[in-house]
Structure formats: C-alpha cells, structure tokens
Amino acid sequence: MAFTLQSASIFPFLLFLLLLSTAAANGSSKSKLCGRSASRCLAWRLSVETSNLKNWSVVPSKCVGYVEKYMRTPGQYWEDSKVAVLTNLGYAKTVKLVGDGKDAWIFDIDETLLSNLPYYQQHEYGGEAYNSTTFEAWVSETKALVLPSSLLLYNVLLARGFKIFLLTGRDEYQRNITTHNLFRAGYKGWDGLILRGVNEQGSAAGVYKPEKRGELVKKGYRLWGSVGDQWSDLSGPYEASRSFKLPNPMYYIS
C-alpha cells in the first residue's frame, strides 16, 4: 500500500492506543497518554467497554476528568445505562417462561444494582489504585446508591415471574450489610444471594462466577439473562442465553 499523508495522519492515534494499552497493563496511575483530547479518552473508554483493553488497574490520569464528566448526574453514563436496560427489557419480552419456577435471571451487584459512585468520587473516579481496606469500609456503611434503571429492570423481571439470583464478588461475611443496602435501595424478592465463601477467596471472578452459574444450571435453572458491569460477570462456561454489559469505566475485574 502506498504511503500517503492521509494514512500517516492516523499514526499518532494508533501509537496513542498502543502506548495507552501498555501503560494501563503496567498499572501506571501517572499515565499522561490521553493528552488533552476528550476524543482520545472516549476511544480509551470504548476499548475498556468492549474488552479490547484488559488487565488495567487505574484510569489514566489524563482521562480522570473525562471519566468524572461521563459519570456525572445526569450525563452520558446514565443514558448508556438506560439503553442497556431497554435492551434487556426488549429481550425479556420475547422469552416464553416455562412456569416451573426454573426460569432465572442473574444480576451482579456493584455498579449493576448498586452504585458506589460516592466512594469513587473521593478516589479520582478510578484514578487511584484499588484499596480493599477503604472500599470494604465504604461497603460496611451500606450507603451505595440505587441505579434507577436497574431497579426498573429488576422489578419488571420479578413481576414477569423470573427467579432472580444475585451473584456478587462480595464475601460471605458481608451478607447482612449487603442485604441491608439492597433493601434500602428498593430491591427485594430475590431467590438467591450468592457471595464468596472462605474456600473461594482469591479466585478470579472469571472463574468463580461461571462455577456458581454452573451450580444453578445443575439444579435445573434456565439462565435466560445475566447483567453485570464487567465481562468477568458474564462470560465463561454456563453463560446465560443473553448477557448484558452495563457501562463502567472506573475499574476492571478479571
């Protein structure tokens, strides 16, 4: 292919993506690769949401302002969430329930049913490295917010007769505070709240969650739908018939 000025003009952008992927994989919280262009940070977010960019640990410092604006209420994050929920609802209407109590739908919790945005507002919207101590302290306060679109979806599915299972990476010792927070946010009527047991500590979400879905399938449940903010919530063995990814540019879980 002949080299032209037009083809040369895309090189800086391609180089930016390559360098950004390398920096994110190395966990550099001081990356300056997003430049001043919001369009480049939008491209970074697209790579995150499509799982083209994996194993990143922090939002690049030059994109923290972009993520803050994206997550602002009201804003694009909330619109993207609404569209994802409408897609869920459209699919749910096509499902013909058997009616034997085995038609199931799975939800993740954090950034799916509940929003930890107040916590991340204090931690640079994901621009700071994850700190389990401070995050668990936040969880214990049971102040995570409801995601209105998710609550709507949850209630519609419940009314239609789906059995709802909540599959979270939270630990078993957090059951009571998680239940309390869910109740405060308006969620009720689920059939199962699945948390990590002692023997599952340290297991990657991409391993632990498929195993738990498999246990449901072996009990005879039909997994019609699954909703989460991470691809590790959704992919792997025993996937639901349809999986729906909600937006989350603040952190990555493998």
**For the chain, percent of residues with pLDDT exceeding 70:** 85
Amino acid 38: pLDDT: 87
Q: Which residue has the higher pLDDT, 44 or 18?
A: 44
Higher-confidence position of 125 and 34: 125
Give yes or no for residue 5 having a pLDDT over 90: no
pTM metric for this prediction: 0.85
- Among 20-29, 75-84, 204-213, 218-227, the range scoring the smallest mean pLDDT is 20-29
CA dist list (Å): 195 to 119, 128, 179: 21, 26, 11
Cis peptide before 74 (omega within 30 of 0): yes
CA 140 to chain centre: 20
**Is the model's pLDDT at 1 over the cut of 70?**
no
Looking at residue 36, its pLDDT comes to 59
The 10s digit of each residue's pLDDT in 97-130 is: 999 999 999 999 999 999 999 999 999 999 999 9
Render pLDDT for 223-232 as a digit per residue (tens, 0 to 9).
999 999 999 9
CA angle 105-173-219, nearest 5°?
A: 35
CA 31 to chain centre: 23
Quick check: 102 and 96 in contact, CB under 8 A?
no
Per residue in 137-188, pLDDT (tens digit) is 999 999 999 999 999 999 999 999 999 999 999 999 999 999 999 999 999 9
Give the whole-number percent of the chain exceeding pLDDT 90: 83
- Chain centroid, CA 215 distance in Å: 22
Residue 9 DSSP code: T
DSSP 175-239: HHHHHHHHHHHT----SEEEEE-GGGTT--HHHHHHHHHHHHHHTT-EEEEEEESSHHHH-STT-
CA angle 165, 138, 230 (to 5 degrees): 45
Domains, the chain, with CATH or none: 5-70 (no CATH), 73-245 (3.40.50.1000)
Mean pLDDT within 32-59: 86
Q: Which residues of 200-210 are buried (b: 16+ CB within 10 A; e: fewer)?
A: eeeeebbebbb
Cα-based angle 82, 87, 91 (whole degrees, multiple of 5): 145
Distance (Å, whole) CA 181 – CA 169: 15
pLDDT of 24 strictly over 60: no
Mean pLDDT throughout 190-203? 95
Task: Please give the full DSSP string across 25-55, using - where no structure is assigned.
Answer: HTT-TT--TTTT-HHHHHHHHHHHHTTSS-S
* Nearest Cα residue to 232 out of 55, 47, 17, 87: 55
Radius of gyration of the chain (CA): 19
Residue 62 clears pLDDT 70, i.e. is over it: yes
